[in-house]
Chains A and B, each alone.
Chain A
Amino acid sequence: MNKITCDVCIVGGGPAGLSAAVAAKKAGAKDVLIVERDEALGGILQQCIHPGFGLKLFKEELTGPEYFGRFVDEANELGVKALLNSMVLEVTADTVTCINGELGVCEISAKAIVLAMGCRERTRANIVIPGTRPAGVYTAGTAQRLINRQNEMVGKKVVILGSGDIGMIMARRMTLEGAKVEAVVEIMDFLAGLTRNRVQCLDDFGIPLLLSHTIIDIKGNDRVESVVIAQVDENKKPIMSTAREIECDTLLLSVGLIPENELTSNAKIEISPITKGPKVNQYMQTSIKSVFACGNVVHVNDLVDNVSAESAKAGESAAKFAAGKLEDSTAVTVETGDNVRYVCPQSVIPADEKVDLYFRVMKPQKGVVITVTDGDNVLFTRKAIKVNPGEMEKATVSVKDITSLMVSVKEA
């Protein structure tokens, strides 16, 4: 067996892993190794050729390849090493085991490990759509990879289920490549993705968005021939009298993402039932102190800029841990108050520093005030015209001497 030693080993070479690697190097880690299963670094951004990345971090509008390209260049300059075409099989507190076609099984001993595996798309099986099982049903991301990286067009007449960002971006992409997108169908009564994408991907091309609708049947034997859609009532049950058939050869699913945490749960790291990712503190440290986690493996983000920021924290903390310099003391659990679904990090160690609390609301709400409190003590307050589950919110608080923390969103 091949044996490798390093200071910080990073599982996954997408935007999270790259940002963590660069930050770990900058924080003084000597040997930083990324293990990546694809043939190149960059992760999902390799197929995200559309613009809209980097507005927060670089103050300019970049495409996916341009965005990760900057991190790859920086990682190369700093001497980050990468093991490509390598699938990680197991992670423990100090070891990453992976398999590589040329090297065989490799055992990597590391002083600190960063989990940056990202997430997977939910499939037809996850949401149980009735009907036949013809070819032509793709997750939006699979179609995106086929079209943007492999030069394979997936269909001509398309219906998209789910108004997530990838779905809307694929609606535009397929239209520009000559396909007809018949409709984007969304079961909720509000848009799942960003408003900007609705305007620039759907409205620009006259693609109908059908809110409070879902697909109740898929028809076709060899290939998709049509789908049946229907409006849903307030309990999300289809109203059968509204059912109508849309002829199409392709159905794309943009119905959510699931953090890819098989390695995490096998390592017996504590997982949040809400985010489906490891619970972390402000250093992105998991329940195993030598293991850190960042990006979509922790919670699904809507902006890669946030992933990069949070992952830089993970990389820096991992480097400090490897050098024996990371703060350690009892953490305070962050509580979720009114209309808050989850907060990341889930716990905070009191320290003389500011911490970014990222959170999502449960339901859309207008005219609100966001507060973070420590008992009766108000640490943060901000008014917002509206909040939306599709758009992550942030509150930055000083956490010196805190004894509790609660984030709430209330009517102003």
Chain B
Amino acid sequence: MTKEIICTVCPTGCTIHVEGENGNITKIEGFSCPRGKVYAENEFTAPVRILTSTAKIKNAKTPLVAVRSKTPVPKEKLFDCMVEIRKLELTPPVNRGDVLIKNICDTGVDIIASGEVK
């Protein structure tokens, strides 16, 4: 498998070419700093993203409260996580940092409130 990865570590945006199979990298070129190399390696073997969305809240001034994954989740699980977040029905108070879903979709990552509704 080969992938062209655009590095997002800094605004330079190097295009890094990675080759390998099953997470083993056989060739990596195009990076111009060590951080870029690490970024491309992670992007190739196990890309992760912070997921942010909103959750419904009842009996509050606003209908929604902002939520996020506390740490990044595997990229391929983003849509599965969205299904779970959509099931939430919160009631006030919700404080910033409150854990709303523990270990979402067995990722080991919690969904927490990023917004606040008193």
Q: Would A151 and B56 count as touching, CB distance under 8 A?
A: yes
In the bound complex, residues from chain A placing their C-beta under 8 Å from that of B105 are none
- Across the interface, B82 reaches (CB within 8 A) one of A49, A66, A176, A198, namely A176
Interface range for B = 20 to 34
In the assembly, what is the distance between CA of A227 and CA of B27, in Å?
Answer: 43
Q: Would A63 and B11 count as touching, CB distance under 8 A?
A: no
Q: Would A150 and B63 count as touching, CB distance under 8 A?
A: yes
In the bound complex, residues from chain A placing their C-beta under 8 Å from that of B79 are 176
A-B pairs under 8 A by CB, number: 71
In the bound complex, residues from chain A placing their C-beta under 8 Å from that of B114 are 49, 62-63, 65-66
In the bound complex, residues from chain A placing their C-beta under 8 Å from that of B32 are 385
State which residues 225-249 of A face B: CB under 8 Å: none
Q: Could you say which of A199-207, A214-222, A255-263, A321-329 contacts chain B?
A: A199-207
Give B38-80 as 1s and 0s: 1 = Cβ < 8 Å from A's Cβ atoms. 0000000000011111101000011110111000000100110
In the bound complex, residues from chain B placing their C-beta under 8 Å from that of A391 are 11
Which residue on chain A has the smallest CB distance to residue B64? A151
Q: Would B8 and A196 count as touching, CB distance under 8 A?
A: yes
In the bound complex, residues from chain B placing their C-beta under 8 Å from that of A337 are none
In the assembly, what is the distance between CA of A203 and CA of B54, in Å?
Answer: 23
In the assembly, what is the distance between CA of A150 and CA of B32, in Å?
Answer: 44
Give A243-279 as 1s and 0s: 1 = Cβ < 8 Å from B's Cβ atoms. 0000000000000000000000000000000000000
Judged by a CB distance under 8 angstroms, whether B26 is at the interface is no
Judged by a CB distance under 8 angstroms, whether A149 is at the interface is yes
| Residues of chain A having any CB pair with chain B under 8 Å | 39, 46, 49-51, 61-66, 69, 147-151, 176-177, 194-196, 198-200, 203-204, 385-386, 388, 391
List, sorted by A's number, 20 A–B pairs whose CB atoms are closer than 8 Å: A46-B115, A49-B53, A49-B66, A49-B114, A51-B52, A61-B50, A63-B68, A65-B96, A65-B116, A149-B62, A151-B63, A176-B53, A176-B78, A176-B82, A194-B11, A196-B8, A200-B49, A204-B75, A385-B12, A386-B12
| Other 4 A-B pairs with CB < 8 A, given A49-B67, A61-B50 | A49-B53, A63-B68, A150-B63, A195-B8
